[in-house]
């Protein structure tokens, strides 16, 4: 019974953290829309710059959509812990008896729901705009569902390491962008393989492996970085 009560209490705390972050995000809807509009605008500008040839657009579509999703997801990283750091809520999270890594995982989930999930939902329309087939769009959706949470988890480590530093936006980009490269390669590669008629399963499995690794290790690394930044 005590173990069951402890687990239920931990789940309740995680749900409270998740609900709190989602509520704050809804109150700052402009921040959420900024990420989504940036994603849409970046992808939509490429047909104007490259030209209307559908064959060319179809060839570059996987890389364009994935790079735009990567850059858009980085816009919200700086706010992942900064607001809690300024108002003292982060110090209260460090004092809770629950493992900090699980609390971090809950905050990252909220971050993905408000910044990553809208990108996934918008991707099919942008894929059709660039001439992707329905099979390629399905692969694009699957890779974004696997890749955007991994990018949020990786970005959380960088956001925690740069917490409270001046000019942290540039430093955060320098830390996070190299770590995003495997996700970008496997995600865009899966869609390109689908467009060319090759099997995309290998890229999808590798992307899934990256997600599993980030779920296992990124919250622990983020928790350690937060403790260091708060000292």
pLDDT 10s digit of each residue in the chain, 231 long? 454 455 666 777 778 878 888 888 777 777 778 888 889 898 888 888 777 778 888 888 888 899 999 988 888 787 787 777 777 777 777 777 778 888 888 889 988 988 888 899 999 888 888 888 888 889 999 999 999 999 999 999 988 888 877 767 778 888 888 899 999 999 988 988 888 777 788 889 999 999 999 999 999 998 888 888 776
Half-sphere exposure of 227 (CA within 13 A, CB side): 11
pLDDT of residue 91: 78
Sign of CA dihedral 143, 148, 150, 155: positive
* Structure-block tokens of residue 4: 């069951």
The total domain count for the chain is: 1
Range of the domain at 30: 2-230
The model's pLDDT over 69-102, given as tens digits with 9 standing for 90+, comes to: 998 888 878 778 777 777 777 777 777 777 888 8
Contacts of 219 (CB under 8 A, 6+ apart): 101, 102, 104, 105, 108, 153, 156
């Amino acid at each position: 019974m005590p173990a069951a009560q402890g687990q239920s209490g931990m789940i309740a705390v995680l749900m409270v953290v998740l609900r709190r972050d989602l509520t704050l995000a809804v109150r700052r809807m402009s921040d959420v829309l900024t990420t989504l509009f940036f994603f849409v605008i970046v992808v939509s500008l490429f047909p104007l710059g490259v030209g209307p040839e559908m064959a060319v657009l179809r060839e570059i579509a996987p890389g364009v959509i994935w790079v735009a999703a990567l850059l858009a997801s980085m816009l919200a990283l700086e706010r992942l812990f900064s607001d809690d750091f300024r108002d003292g809520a982060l110090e209260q999270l460090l004092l809770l008896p629950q493992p900090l890594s699980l609390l971090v995982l809950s905050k990252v989930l909220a971050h993905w729901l408000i910044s990553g999930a809208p990108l996934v939902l918008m991707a099919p329309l942008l894929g059709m705009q660039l001439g992707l087939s329905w099979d390629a769009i399905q692969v694009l959706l699957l890779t974004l569902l696997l890749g955007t949470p991994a990018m949020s988890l990786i970005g959380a480590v960088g956001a925690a390491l740069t917490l409270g530093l001046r000019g942290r936006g540039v430093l955060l980009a320098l830390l996070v962008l190299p770590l995003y490269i495997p996700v970008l390669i496997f995600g865009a590669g899966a869609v390109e393989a689908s467009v060319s008629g090759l099997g995309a399963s290998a890229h999808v499995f590798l992307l899934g492996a990256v997600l599993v690794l980030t779920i296992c290790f990124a919250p622990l690394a983020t928790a350690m970085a937060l403790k260091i930044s708060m000292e």
